[in-house]
Amino acid sequence: MKSPLIEELITAFRVLPGVGPKSAQRMAYHLLERNKKGGQQLATVLHRAVEEIGNCILCRTLTEQETCSICASNSRRASELCIVESPSDISVIEQSGIFTGKYFVLMGHLSPIDGIGPEQLGLDLLEKRLAIETIEEVILATNPTVEGEATAHYIQQMARAHSIKVSRLAQGIPLGGELEYLDSGTLSQAFLARNLMDF
């Protein structure tokens, strides 16, 4: 019979996405048997992160500061605003080094069934930015799901009301991908988003 505290630790690990009962148990026993020092460090850093990390007042990404480093940077192009669903999306885009504008993080997508409407996504704050700032283009980088598309459409209407150009990240065949391995949804999107070639 497990101790109540071990059971509590296993249950605590299960709050992480993709961690089931077996994985949680393996993590708990690993820390307790082989890496107590690592467990203490994890507990300390996790406690600090939960206490000290909040949202940027401009873009809503996660940061310890009132304004994140991207929003505070004068070298970023304030005329381009990329809309993403989560802070992890910013990390992926930043790793590519292709985008030099600023961001707005929704922290989700529209989902009336789950009670997530425009208010929960901070779209009132986005509306203010579109009205006040000199934004020339809004780049929609929401996920290609039904909810992501509905969210993108909603934001597109907001931006158009302010006469701001709206673009959507291209979707379809990945670089190096082969047609025979693509699902029908990806292939359909690739056909719909095809571009004319200049000769």
Q: Which domain holds residue 180?
A: 172-199
Q: What percent of the chain has pLDDT over 90?
A: 74
Would residue 59 count as lying in a domain? Answer: no
Same domain for 109 and 30:
no
Strands 137-140 and 101-105: unpaired
Nearest-CA neighbor of 9 among 52, 17, 26? Answer: 26
pLDDT tens profile 30-85: 999 999 999 999 999 999 999 999 999 999 999 999 999 999 999 999 999 999 99
> Does 58 map to a domain?
no
Tell me if residue 109 falls in helix, strand or coil.
Answer: coil
CB 125 within 8 A of CB 61: no
Structure-block tokens of residue 40: 């203490």
Which residue blocks in the chain are alpha helix, DSSP H? 4-13, 21-34, 36-52, 69-72, 87-96, 123-132, 146-161, 184-192
Structural contact between residues 28 and 13, judged by C-beta atoms closer than 8 angstroms: yes
| The pLDDT value given to residue 96 | 87
Whole-angstrom CA distances from 153 to 27, 63, 83, 141, 145 are 42, 28, 12, 12, 12
Residue 13 sits in the same domain as residue 80: no
Residues 103-127: tens digit of each pLDDT:
999 999 999 888 898 999 999 999 9
Token output for 80: 């381009």
- Let me know if 189 is exposed, middle or buried by CB neighbors in 10 A (0-12, 13-18, 19+): middle
Number of domains in the chain: 3
CATH number at residue 48: 1.10.8.420
Same domain, 160 and 127: yes
Q: Could you report the per-residue pLDDT of 185-198, keeping only the tens digit for each?
A: 777 777 777 766 66
